[in-house]
Amino acid sequence: MAKIVTDVVCPFCGTLCDDLEVALSDDGEEILEVYNACTIGATKFLHSQAKDRVTRPQMKQEDGSWKEVTYDEAVEYTANLLVDAKKPLMYGWSSTSCTAQGTGSEIGEIVGACMDNTATVCHGSTLIAVQDVGVPSATLGEIANRADRVVFWGCNPAHAHPRHMSRYSIFPRGFFTGKGSKSRKMFVVDPRNTDTAKMADVHLQLEQGHDYELLSAIRVALRGEALPDFVAGIPKEQIYETAETLRSGRFTVIFFGMGVTHSLGKNHNIDIAIAVTRDLNDYTKAAIVPMRGHYNVTGSGQVWGWQFGFPFCLDLTRGFARYNPGDSSSNDLLIRDEVDAVFVLGSDPGAHFPVGSVKKIAQLPSVCIDPHITPTSAVSKLHVPVAFVGVEVGGCAYRMDNVPIETRKVVEPPEGMLTDEEFLQKVLTRVRELKGAA
C-alpha cells in the first residue's frame, strides 16, 4: 500500500495549489504519483526523482569540462566571489522559501550587492505601478466566492496557471457564485486566440501592444463619452458593451499578465488598468490581481518589502537600500557592464533574459544555485545543486494574492545534498569571516 501525503502545496506557479496528494513508496523514499496537480506541477514533483539528477557541486574547468567539488569548496568560491566583487549582482530568489530569501538579503547587505528577483522580467512593471498609484485588490478565496465578472487581460491561465480557473476564478461554486462558471461572465483580452480566450464569453482580440488605448477607451465608455469607431482594433460597440457588463456585475475582477507588463507602455498600462478598476468601484465592487509566475516571487517582494522597503531592483552598494528600476535592475546593470560578479539562486536568467544579458553573465565570475541543469548553470563557473523547496524541504511561500502558505516536505533530498537555506547559511558565515564581521 502506497503511503499518501495529503495537503501538499505545489511549488511551481503563483497559484500555489494546496490540495495536492502525493503517493509514496512503502519506505517513503520515492514519489510514485501526484494527484490533483496540473501536468506542470506533477512533472516538477516527479522530475525531482530523476536518475540523472546532479547531486554535487561542479566547477567549470579551463577546457570547458566540469569537475565535481565539495559543498565546502563551493561555499568558499561563492563567498570569495561575493566579497571580492565591487558590485555583485545577486539575482533570482523566486523559487525558494522566504527564510532563504531573508538569509540571502543578509549576505547582500554585507557584501553590498545589487539584488533583484524575477519580477524584473515578469511583474516588475506592476510593482512600479502599484507603488505609484496603489491597488484595489482581493484574495483568491474572496474571488471564488463573489466574482461574477472575470477578466483575463494579457494572460493565458489555461497554459501558465492551469488550475487557476478551476480552483478560484471561473469554475468553483462559491457562496455567492453557486452556479460556478454559469454565475460568471468571462472576458479575455489577448491579441491571440488563446485556449483561455476560446473558453471566454467575450474575447477582445486587440492589436498587440495597444492595451493602454483599449483600457483608456473602457474608461471613456464608463463615463458615457464618445469613442472613435475602432480602438486597438476593437469596434466601439463591443467596448461600450464590455464596460456596461463589467459595471453591472456585483463583483468584477481583472487578472492581468505578461501581455500587459511586457508590451510597450509597461507600468503605464497597469496604471490605467488600476484606474479602470477604481472607476468600476464607483458602480460595483472591483479588484485587480496580477497573475504572478514563480511560486514565491510574491514572497521575495514581501521579504524585501519588510527588510528594505522595496520589492525588487535593490541596490545595497552604499550600505543602505536604493531603488531605481532602469538603473538598479538586472538587465540594465548587465547590459551596461556595471556588475563584476553574478550569483543566481532560484531562477534561470540564462533561459529567460535577453541573450545580450546572458553573454555578460558568461563573461563574469558566476555561481548558479539550482536543482536543475539550466542554460544559467551552463554559462556559470560554478553550479551548486540543492534540494527542491516544497518537495524535499518545506518553507513559506506567498501566493499571487499575497497570502502566505507553508509548503511541505514530501521526501528526503538525495543523500548529502544541501538545501538553499543551508547553503546560504554557510556562505553567510564565511562572508562574515572574510569581512572580519564574525
Partner 1 sequence: MAAIQINLISGRTIQQGVSMENGKEKLAYRDACGILELDDAEFKRLGCFKNTNVRVSSEFGSVVVKAIGATQGPHPGLGWIPMGPWANAVVNPNTYSTGMPTFKGTPVTVDVAEDEVVLDAIALITEECL
Contacts with ligand SF4, residue ranges (CB under 6 A): 10, 12-13, 15-17, 37-38, 40-41, 161-163
Give 23 or 373: the residue with its C-beta nearer to partner 1: 373
Using alpha carbons, select from 148, 182, 178, 143 the residue that is nearest to residue 164. Answer: 143
Give 103 or 196: the residue with its C-beta nearer to partner 1: 196
Q: Which of 15, 95, 97, 267 forms a contact with partner 1 (CB under 8 A)?
A: 267
User: Closest approach of Cβ 359 to partner 1, in Å?
Assistant: 5
Alpha-carbon distance of 71 to 387, in angstroms, equals 13
Task: Name the burial class of residue 68, with classes exposed (0-12), middle (13-18) and buried (19+) by CB atoms within 10 angstroms of its CB.
Answer: exposed
Task: Name the burial class of residue 56, with classes exposed (0-12), middle (13-18) and buried (19+) by CB atoms within 10 angstroms of its CB.
Answer: middle
Q: Crossing angle for the helix pair 267-280 and 124-133, nearest 10 degrees?
A: 50
Give 155 or 339: the residue with its C-beta nearer to ligand SF4: 155
Give 166 or 238: the residue with its C-beta nearer to ligand SF4: 166
Give 21 or 207: the residue with its C-beta nearer to ligand SF4: 21
Binding to partner 1 by residue 95, rule CB under 8 A?
no
User: Closest approach of Cβ 38 to ligand SF4, in Å?
Assistant: 3
Q: Which helix (H) or strand (E) holds 79?
A: helix 71-84
C-alpha cell, 77: 568560491
C-alpha cell, 348: 534561470
User: Closest approach of Cβ 3 to partner 1, in Å?
Assistant: 24
Binding to partner 1 by residue 345, rule CB under 8 A?
no
Alpha-carbon distance of 333 to 357, in angstroms, equals 9
- Residue 20: how many CA atoms within 13 Å on its side-chain side? 31
By CB under 8 A, what part of segment 108-167 binds partner 1? 116, 120-121, 124-125, 128, 156, 158-160, 162
Give 141 or 305: the residue with its C-beta nearer to partner 1: 305
User: Closest approach of Cβ 14 to ligand SF4, in Å?
Assistant: 7
C-alpha cell, 405: 502558505
C-alpha cell, 73: 569548496
Cβ proximity of 407 and 100 under 8 Å: no
Task: From the list partner 1, ligand SF4, none, pick the one residue 413 interacts with, judged by a Cβ distance below 5 to 8 Å according to partner type.
Answer: none
Binding to partner 1 by residue 262, rule CB under 8 A?
yes
User: Closest approach of Cβ 146 to partner 1, in Å?
Assistant: 28
Give 263 or 307: the residue with its C-beta nearer to partner 1: 263
C-alpha cell, 99: 527564510
Q: Which of 325, 346, 365, 390 forms a contact with partner 1 (CB under 8 A)?
A: 325
Binding to partner 1 by residue 173, rule CB under 8 A?
no
By CB under 8 A, what part of segment 8-67 binds partner 1? 12-13, 38-40, 43-44, 47, 50, 52, 64
What residue type is 10 in one-letter code?
C
C-alpha cell, 117: 528577483
Alpha-carbon distance of 144 to 171, in angstroms, equals 8
Binding to partner 1 by residue 332, rule CB under 8 A?
yes
Task: Name the burial class of residue 434, with classes exposed (0-12), middle (13-18) and buried (19+) by CB atoms within 10 angstroms of its CB.
Answer: middle
